[in-house]
Chain A
Amino acid sequence: MTTVFYISSLVAILSTVMVITRYQPIHALLYLVVSFLAVAMIFLSLGAPFVAALEVIIYAGAIMVLFIFVVMMLNLDKETAAQERIWLQPRVWIGPSLLTLLLLAGMVVLLLRGQRTTMRIATVDARQVALSLYGGYIIAVELAGFLLMAGIVGAAHIGKHRTESMHRYLRKDEEQQKEIHAAS
Chain B
Amino acid sequence: MNELAFIPALPLLGFLVLSLGGRSLSRNAVACVGAGSVCIAAGLTITLCVQYLQGGNAARVDEWVAWRWFASGPLAVPVGFRVDALSLVFMFIITFVGALIHLYSTAFMRDDRGYARFFACMNLFVCAMLILVMAGNLVLLYLGWEGVGLCSYLLIGFWYETPANCAAANKAFLITRIGDTALLIGMFLLFRELGTFDIAGILQASPGHFAAASPIITAIALLFLAGGMGKSAQLPLQTWLPDAMAGPSPVSALIHAATMVTAGVYLIARMHVLFQLSPAAMTVTALIGALTLLVAGCSAMVQTDIKRILAYSTISQLGYMFLALGVGAWSAAIFHFFTHAFFKALLFLAAGAVIEALHHEHNVFRMGGLRHRLPIVYWTFLAGAASLAALPLVTAGFFSKDQILGYALSAEDGNAVLWLSGIAGALITAFYSTRLILVVFWGEAKTPVTRVPGRWITVPLIILAFFSITAGFLEWPRDLLDVQLFSGLLRGVLPATTTRYQGEGGAQLTAVIATLAGIFTGFQLYYRRPALLQRWRRGRLTAAGRQFLLDGWKFDVVYDRFIVRPFVYLTRVNRSDLFDSLYGALVRAMQEGNRQLSRTQNGSLRWYAVGVLVGMLYIIALLL
A–B touch (CB < 8 A): the answer is yes
Contact with A along B596-624 (1 / 0, CB 8 A): 00000000000000100110110011011
User: Do A99 and B624 have beta carbons less than 8 Å apart?
Assistant: no
User: Do A99 and B614 have beta carbons less than 8 Å apart?
Assistant: yes
Asked if A110 lies at the interface with its beta carbon under 8 angstroms from chain B, I say yes
Expressed in whole angstroms, the Cα–Cα distance for A102 and B614 within the complex equals 10
Expressed in whole angstroms, the Cα–Cα distance for A119 and B439 within the complex equals 131
User: Do A103 and B617 have beta carbons less than 8 Å apart?
Assistant: yes
Expressed in whole angstroms, the Cα–Cα distance for A159 and B614 within the complex equals 34
Q: Interface majority SS on B: helix, strand, loop or mixed?
A: helix
Chain A residues with CB below 8 A from B620, complex form: 103, 106-107, 110
Expressed in whole angstroms, the Cα–Cα distance for A66 and B252 within the complex equals 105
Closest 10 CB pairs of A and B: A106-B620, A99-B613, A103-B617, A102-B617, A110-B623, A109-B624, A103-B616, A106-B624, A106-B617, A103-B613
Tell me the B residues contacting A by CB distance below 8 Å: 610, 613-614, 616-617, 620-621, 623-624
Considering the complex, give the chain B residue whose CB is closest to the CB of A96.
B610
What's the nearest-Cβ distance from chain A to residue B611, in Å?
A: 11
Apart from A103-B617, A106-B617, A110-B624: 17 A-B pairs, beta carbons within 8 A: A96-B610, A99-B610, A99-B613, A99-B614, A99-B617, A100-B613, A102-B617, A103-B613, A103-B616, A103-B620, A106-B620, A106-B621, A106-B624, A107-B620, A109-B624, A110-B620, A110-B623
Chain B residues with CB below 8 A from A103, complex form: 613, 616-617, 620
What's the nearest-Cβ distance from chain B to residue A84, in Å?
A: 15
Considering the complex, give the chain A residue whose CB is closest to the CB of B616.
A103
What's the nearest-Cβ distance from chain A to residue B219, in Å?
A: 79
Chain B residues with CB below 8 A from A102, complex form: 617
Q: Interface majority SS on A: helix, strand, loop or mixed?
A: helix
Expressed in whole angstroms, the Cα–Cα distance for A117 and B348 within the complex equals 119
What's the nearest-Cβ distance from chain A to residue B617, in Å?
A: 6
Contact with B along A1-38 (1 / 0, CB 8 A): 00000000000000000000000000000000000000
A-B contact pairs, 20 of them (CB 8 A): A96-B610, A99-B610, A99-B613, A99-B614, A99-B617, A100-B613, A102-B617, A103-B613, A103-B616, A103-B617, A103-B620, A106-B617, A106-B620, A106-B621, A106-B624, A107-B620, A109-B624, A110-B620, A110-B623, A110-B624
Chain B residues with CB below 8 A from A110, complex form: 620, 623-624
Chain A residues with CB below 8 A from B610, complex form: 96, 99
Chain B residues with CB below 8 A from A100, complex form: 613
Tell me the A residues contacting B by CB distance below 8 Å: 96, 99-100, 102-103, 106-107, 109-110
What's the nearest-Cβ distance from chain B to residue A128, in Å?
A: 34
Chain B residues with CB below 8 A from A109, complex form: 624
What's the nearest-Cβ distance from chain A to residue B163, in Å?
A: 49
Expressed in whole angstroms, the Cα–Cα distance for A99 and B607 within the complex equals 13
What's the nearest-Cβ distance from chain B to residue A93, in Å?
A: 13
Considering the complex, give the chain A residue whose CB is closest to the CB of B609.
A96
What's the nearest-Cβ distance from chain B to residue A100, in Å?
A: 8
Considering the complex, give the chain B residue whose CB is closest to the CB of A102.
B617
Expressed in whole angstroms, the Cα–Cα distance for A109 and B617 within the complex equals 12
Considering the complex, give the chain B residue whose CB is closest to the CB of A107.
B620
Expressed in whole angstroms, the Cα–Cα distance for A47 and B75 within the complex equals 102
What's the nearest-Cβ distance from chain B to residue A101, in Å?
A: 11
Chain A residues with CB below 8 A from B623, complex form: 110
Chain A residues with CB below 8 A from B613, complex form: 99-100, 103
Chain A residues with CB below 8 A from B617, complex form: 99, 102-103, 106
Considering the complex, give the chain B residue whose CB is closest to the CB of A105.
B620
Q: Which of A100, A102, A107, A109 has the most CB of B within 10 A?
A: A102
Expressed in whole angstroms, the Cα–Cα distance for A172 and B623 within the complex equals 54
Expressed in whole angstroms, the Cα–Cα distance for A96 and B613 within the complex equals 10
Expressed in whole angstroms, the Cα–Cα distance for A106 and B610 within the complex equals 16
Chain B residues with CB below 8 A from A99, complex form: 610, 613-614, 617
Expressed in whole angstroms, the Cα–Cα distance for A103 and B624 within the complex equals 12
Chain A residues with CB below 8 A from B614, complex form: 99
Expressed in whole angstroms, the Cα–Cα distance for A99 and B615 within the complex equals 11
Considering the complex, give the chain A residue whose CB is closest to the CB of B618.
A106
Expressed in whole angstroms, the Cα–Cα distance for A102 and B610 within the complex equals 13
Chain B residues with CB below 8 A from A106, complex form: 617, 620-621, 624
What's the nearest-Cβ distance from chain B to residue A102, in Å?
A: 6
Chain A residues with CB below 8 A from B624, complex form: 106, 109-110
Expressed in whole angstroms, the Cα–Cα distance for A96 and B612 within the complex equals 13
Expressed in whole angstroms, the Cα–Cα distance for A102 and B620 within the complex equals 10
Q: Which of B610, B620, B621, B623 has the most CB of A within 10 A?
A: B620
What's the nearest-Cβ distance from chain B to residue A83, in Å?
A: 16
Expressed in whole angstroms, the Cα–Cα distance for A13 and B620 within the complex equals 23
Chain A residues with CB below 8 A from B621, complex form: 106
What's the nearest-Cβ distance from chain B to residue A96, in Å?
A: 8
Considering the complex, give the chain A residue whose CB is closest to the CB of B613.
A99
Considering the complex, give the chain A residue whose CB is closest to the CB of B620.
A106
Chain B residues with CB below 8 A from A107, complex form: 620
What's the nearest-Cβ distance from chain A to residue B620, in Å?
A: 4
What's the nearest-Cβ distance from chain A to residue B607, in Å?
A: 11
Considering the complex, give the chain B residue whose CB is closest to the CB of A106.
B620
What's the nearest-Cβ distance from chain A to residue B492, in Å?
A: 93
Expressed in whole angstroms, the Cα–Cα distance for A109 and B610 within the complex equals 21
Expressed in whole angstroms, the Cα–Cα distance for A110 and B620 within the complex equals 8
Expressed in whole angstroms, the Cα–Cα distance for A127 and B450 within the complex equals 130
Q: Which of A100, A106, A109, A110 has the most CB of B within 10 A?
A: A106
Expressed in whole angstroms, the Cα–Cα distance for A98 and B620 within the complex equals 16
Considering the complex, give the chain B residue whose CB is closest to the CB of A99.
B613
Expressed in whole angstroms, the Cα–Cα distance for A102 and B624 within the complex equals 12
Expressed in whole angstroms, the Cα–Cα distance for A109 and B621 within the complex equals 10
What's the nearest-Cβ distance from chain B to residue A107, in Å?
A: 7
What's the nearest-Cβ distance from chain B to residue A94, in Å?
A: 13
Expressed in whole angstroms, the Cα–Cα distance for A107 and B620 within the complex equals 7
Expressed in whole angstroms, the Cα–Cα distance for A110 and B624 within the complex equals 7
Expressed in whole angstroms, the Cα–Cα distance for A39 and B617 within the complex equals 26
Expressed in whole angstroms, the Cα–Cα distance for A177 and B624 within the complex equals 60
Considering the complex, give the chain B residue whose CB is closest to the CB of A100.
B613
Chain B residues with CB below 8 A from A96, complex form: 610
Expressed in whole angstroms, the Cα–Cα distance for A107 and B623 within the complex equals 10
Q: Which of B614, B617, B621, B623 has the most CB of A within 10 A?
A: B617
Expressed in whole angstroms, the Cα–Cα distance for A78 and B624 within the complex equals 46
Expressed in whole angstroms, the Cα–Cα distance for A96 and B607 within the complex equals 11
What's the nearest-Cβ distance from chain B to residue A183, in Å?
A: 38
Considering the complex, give the chain A residue whose CB is closest to the CB of B606.
A96
Considering the complex, give the chain A residue whose CB is closest to the CB of B623.
A110
What's the nearest-Cβ distance from chain A to residue B324, in Å?
A: 86
Expressed in whole angstroms, the Cα–Cα distance for A102 and B623 within the complex equals 14
What's the nearest-Cβ distance from chain B to residue A122, in Å?
A: 32
What's the nearest-Cβ distance from chain A to residue B604, in Å?
A: 14
What's the nearest-Cβ distance from chain B to residue A91, in Å?
A: 15
What's the nearest-Cβ distance from chain B to residue A54, in Å?
A: 28
What's the nearest-Cβ distance from chain B to residue A23, in Å?
A: 18
Expressed in whole angstroms, the Cα–Cα distance for A110 and B614 within the complex equals 17
Expressed in whole angstroms, the Cα–Cα distance for A136 and B620 within the complex equals 33
